[in-house]
């Protein structure tokens, strides 16, 4: 069974995410909006969600599951959807 890595959305970002309109397709997420969480072994993201619902800290809307291959799945009200990290480009050096 795959071992998923959990990335917990920070509360300030979660409030914005909650009230943002739902869009379909791949979500882009910023690493600064997440904190590393625990790992969970499950067959797929829905099995991980189910197992975590019974834990002291269940998955919440906005949290990410990362597969062993690095694929991100974001928890939304409608289920899980694909996500990708957005890494800001470094600001150019002043001349």
pLDDT 10s digits, 44-56: 999 999 999 989 9
Phi, psi of 22 (to 5 degrees): -70, 130
The model's pTM = 0.86
Residues 6+ apart with CB under 8 A from 84: 26, 27, 28, 29, 72
pLDDT 10s digits, 19-28: 887 777 888 9
HEC assignment per residue over the chain = CCEEEEEEECHHHHHHHHHCCCCCCCEEECHHHEEEEEEEECCCHHHHHHHHHCCCCCCCCCCEEECCCCCEEEEECCEEEEEEECCCCCCCCCC
* Per-residue pLDDT tens digits of the chain, which is 95 residues long: 899 999 999 999 998 888 887 777 888 999 999 999 999 999 999 999 999 998 999 999 999 999 999 999 999 988 999 999 998 777 766 65
């Amino acid at each position: 069974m795959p071992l998923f890595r959990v990335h917990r959305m920070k509360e300030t970002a979660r409030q914005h995410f909650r009230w943002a309109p739902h869009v379909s397709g791949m979500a882009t997420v910023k690493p600064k909006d997440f904190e590393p969480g625990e790992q969970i072994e499950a067959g797929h993201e829905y099995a991980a969600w189910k197992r975590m619902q019974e834990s002291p800290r269940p998955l919440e809307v906005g949290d990410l599951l990362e597969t062993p291959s690095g694929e991100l799945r974001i928890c939304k009200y409608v289920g899980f959807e694909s996500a990708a990290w957005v890494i800001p480009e470094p600001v150019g050096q002043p001349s």
